[in-house]
Amino acid sequence: MRLSYPPNLRIIRVPCTGKVDVIHILRAFEKGADGVAVVGCLEGDCHYLTGNLRARKRVEQARKILDTVGVGGERVKMFNLSSGEGPRFAQYAQEIFATVMGLGLSPIRLAKQKQQPGVEAQITELGVQKAAAV
Partner 1 sequence: MTAVDVYNKGLQDRKAAYIDYPQAIPLSFTIDQEACIGCGLCEKMCLAGAITYEDQERSTDLDVGSIVLCPGSQEFDPKDLDYLSYGTHPNVVTSAEFERILSASGPYFGNLTRPFDRQEPKKVAWLQCVGSRDLNRTGNGYCSSVCCMYAVKEAMIAKEHAHSDMDCAIFNMDVRTFGKDFEKYYNRAKDQEGVRFIKARIHSVIPVADDSGDLALRYFTESGELKEEIFDMVVLSVGLQIQESTIDLAHKLGLELNHYNFAKTGTFSPVETSRPGIYASGVFQGPKDIPESVVEASAAACAAGAPLAAARHTCTQSVELPEEQDVSDEELRIGVFVCNCGINIGGVVNTKEVTEYAESLPGVAYAGINLFTCSEDAQNNMKEIIKDQKLNRVVVASCSPKTHEPIFMDTLEACGLNKYLFEMANIRNQDSWVHAGNPEAATQKAKELVHMAVSRSATLSPLHEKQIPVNERSLVVGGGVAGMTAALGLADQGYECVLVEKEAGLGGLANKLHKTIDGTDVQAALQDLILRVEEHPKVQLLTQTIITDFRGFKGNFTTEVLVGPEMTSRKIEHGVIILATGANEYQPREFLYGQNDRVLTQMELTKQLEARGAKDINNAVMIQCVGSRNEEHPNCSRICCQSAVKNAIHIKEENPEANVYILYRDIRMYGLLEDYYTRARSLGVLFFRYSLDDMPVVNEMENGVSVEFNDPVLGRRLSVDCDCLALSAGMRATNTDDLASVLKAPRSDDGHFLEAHVKLRPVEMSTEGMYVCGTAHSPRLLNETTAQAKAAASRATALLSQPYLTLSAVTAEVDPDKCASCLICVRSCPHSVPRINQDGVSEIDAALCHGCGICASECPAKAIKLNWYEDTQIMSKIDALLEEVV
Site of interaction with partner 1 (CB under 8 A): 1-5, 7, 10-16, 18-21, 23-24, 27-28, 31-33, 47-51, 54, 58, 84-88, 90, 108-109, 112-113, 116, 119, 124, 126, 131-133
Burial per residue of 28-57, b for 16 or more beta-carbon CB atoms within 10 angstroms, e otherwise? bbeebbbbbbbbbbeeeebbeeebbebbbe
Give CA–CA dist 62/107, Å, rounded: 16
Nearer to partner 1, 49 or 69 (CB): 49
Least CB distance from residue 44 to partner 1, whole Å? 12
Backbone φ/ψ region at 32: left (φ over 0), alpha (ψ -120 to 50), beta? left
Least CB distance from residue 17 to partner 1, whole Å? 9
Least CB distance from residue 8 to partner 1, whole Å? 8
